[in-house]
Structure 1
Amino acid sequence: MADDCELLEVFPEQIQDPVNYYKGLDLPNRVICRNVIVFERLTRKSLQQQDLANRMHHRYVLMRVLKTGGVVSVDGQSFKLEAGEALLVTPYQFHHYVDLELDQLRWLFITFDLIQGDASLTDLSYRRLQPDGAAHRLWGEIASLWGHQDADRRSEIMPVLDRLLTHLQATATHPSRTTLPRQDSAHEWIAQVEALIIRSVREGWTFEEVAQRVGFSQRHLRERFERQMGLSLRDYRSNYQFHTAISLMRDSRCSLSDVAELSGFNSQSVFTRFIRRMANRTPRELCRQIRAGDYELS
């Protein structure tokens, strides 16, 4: 049994009385996570999986580089991560990995759903995160708990992850004050092409027009893009359009005609054929499942 001195040493000398006994600290939109999965990627091959379902997802993905930096491209924006840095990818953001420095690496991933708190994580999107000592300890605690044999102890991951995300949000610099890393020549061209493909969805450009804006022939662009990315220009754009459509369908204010137009389709019939090919169901069926929370990307 600890003596009085040992018990008191962790407490402040005095805790002030509250001004109001009925109105306390409250965060109505605080982060609350569920369905947490923790895993690592240890090789370039395992990280750059070509399965498009891994590139386009319906969950939050929080990644941190422990060994061997690389570039993560998120919806056409590239982020060069060094060892120790982290990145949050939100649901339905199309992302992949390029320019990994070595074949052997160690990247830690935490994927999760949110019960609430989406708005709280807005400031963490599209930016490199540089966790401080407190965040580093929380990362380590999550990794240790994940490997614990006792189920009750493992369940402590969720409140610890809530704390980590809240801490990252509280310590992040406001985006307007953050300068994104300058892209080097090794991946600058691919980020430019991705941005143009995404813009082509809105503008209705052909791949020939995209190639002209990059200064390549269409054949050279197709070959170089597929060699670097592991998928064709057409597959990249199709999957971007598909994840855009899914994201828009989550908004009950968006009609299916709006979804089709904003996903780059001027014809409802073409949009219907596209959704049938990508999801094996009609747009209306897919929309109903998404809004009911029953659709899983396979």
Structure 2
Amino acid sequence: MISAMDRTLQVSEVFPSQISDPKSYYEGADQPNRIICSNVIVFERLSWKSLQQPHVGNRMHHRYVLMRVLRSAGVVSVDGQNYQLDVGDALLVTPYQFHHYIEIESDTLRWLFITFELEQGQPALADLSYRRLRPDLLTHQLWGEVAHLWSSDTAASRLELIPTLDRLLARLHATTLRLPQVETVGATTGNGWIAQVETLIIRSVREGWTFEEVAQRAGFSERHLRERFEKQMGLSLRDYRSNYQFHTAISLMRDAKCSLADVAELSGFNSQSVFTRFIRRMAGCTPRELCRQVREGRYEQSSE
């Protein structure tokens, strides 16, 4: 039986000693463009093979991907920029960013992923992209809550899941922006050539270089580069560039002001007919049909 004094002590430990009157009873705390998520999925990867997802289609995604390293550090390449993630670090990948994983410390790993769609709050999440995130203790606890709520079978826990993720992202936004911009890794031990080659492939889309020219600029023969790249990355040079061009095209299609001719040119295609054949091969439909699906939010690829 809890006495009145015990109840009083419990209240005093939880609440502030005094709550002052508000300055106004009509204007309170508000955040009009606060982060609101939907359609949340949580999963983990426990081996390099499952992390890398060799099929190129799995590297495309229309959702936000928030990842965190729980065991075994590694490097995540996002659109050709490399980020070294140590244990405890996190990274947010926004829709249609091409990403993959290299230099994983050990095949015995544990990386946690939260993928979701966004109802509002894009500016806040834009601030979190292209930077390594280092969660503080409270943010770490929110990560744990999201994981536990997802793992629970109860309806009540699932109802709490999305608001908890909203809090986690808001906390990341509030705390991370106080840190200096984290550098990208230009070259890492052993596999620094990968970052160089990725940069050259992306430049080749704009410059119209052949793979032979890419190889020459990287200091390899074309044959050696093809073999070494595919062995390390799990996909060919051609697939890598095609995937980059495809995701670039989809990103551009989201802009209603961008014509299909502009999309084709900015994706590295000087011929509309070649661009049409490319989109048919990658998406199974015409550029116009794909553009309509993207702008109506109906085009989907793998979550991760």
**TM-score (ref. length: structure 2):** 0.94
Residue in 1 that maps onto 2:47: 43
Any residues of structure 2 matched to 1:99-178 within 5 Å, and which? 99-173=103-177, 177-178=181-182
Cα-Cα RMSD: 1.6
The number of aligned residues is 298
Of 16-25 and 178-187, the range deviating more from structure 2: 178-187
Matches of 2:7 and 2:84, distance apart in 1: 52
Of 88, 102, 114, the residue aligned with 1:84 is 88
- Residue 230 of structure 1 corresponds to 234
Contact 1:123 1:175 in 2 (8 A): no
Q: Percent identity?
A: 69
Per-residue Cα deviation, 1:113-165 (whole angstroms, up to 9, x for no partner): 00011111122111111111011100111111111121121221111111111
List alignment gaps of at least 5 residues for structure 1: none
On the 8 A contact 2:56/2:239 being kept in 1, the answer is no
- Indicate whether 1:284 and 2:285 are aligned: no
Comparing 19-28 with 76-85, greater Cα deviation is found at: 19-28
**Change in CA separation of 1:177 and 1:96 when aligned onto 2, cut-off 3 Å:** closer
SS in 2 for 1:61: strand
Distance 2:44 2:174 in 1: 26
- SS of residue matched to 1:216: coil
Greater relative CO (CA pairs within 8 A, separation 6+): 2
1:94 aligns with 2:98: yes
1:104 counterpart SS class: coil
The residue that corresponds to 2:8 in the other structure is 4
Partner amino acid, structure 1, of 2:257:
R
The residue number in structure 2 matching 1:262 is 266
Taking structure 1 as the reference length, the TM-score comes to: 0.96
* TM-aligned CA distance change 1:291 to 1:199, over 3 Å: same
C-alpha separation between the residues in 1 aligned to 2:137 and 2:287? Answer: 47
Letter in 2 for 1:283: P
Structure 1 Cα separation of the partners of residues 83 and 254 of structure 2: 27
CA distance in 2, matches of 1:185, 1:8: 54
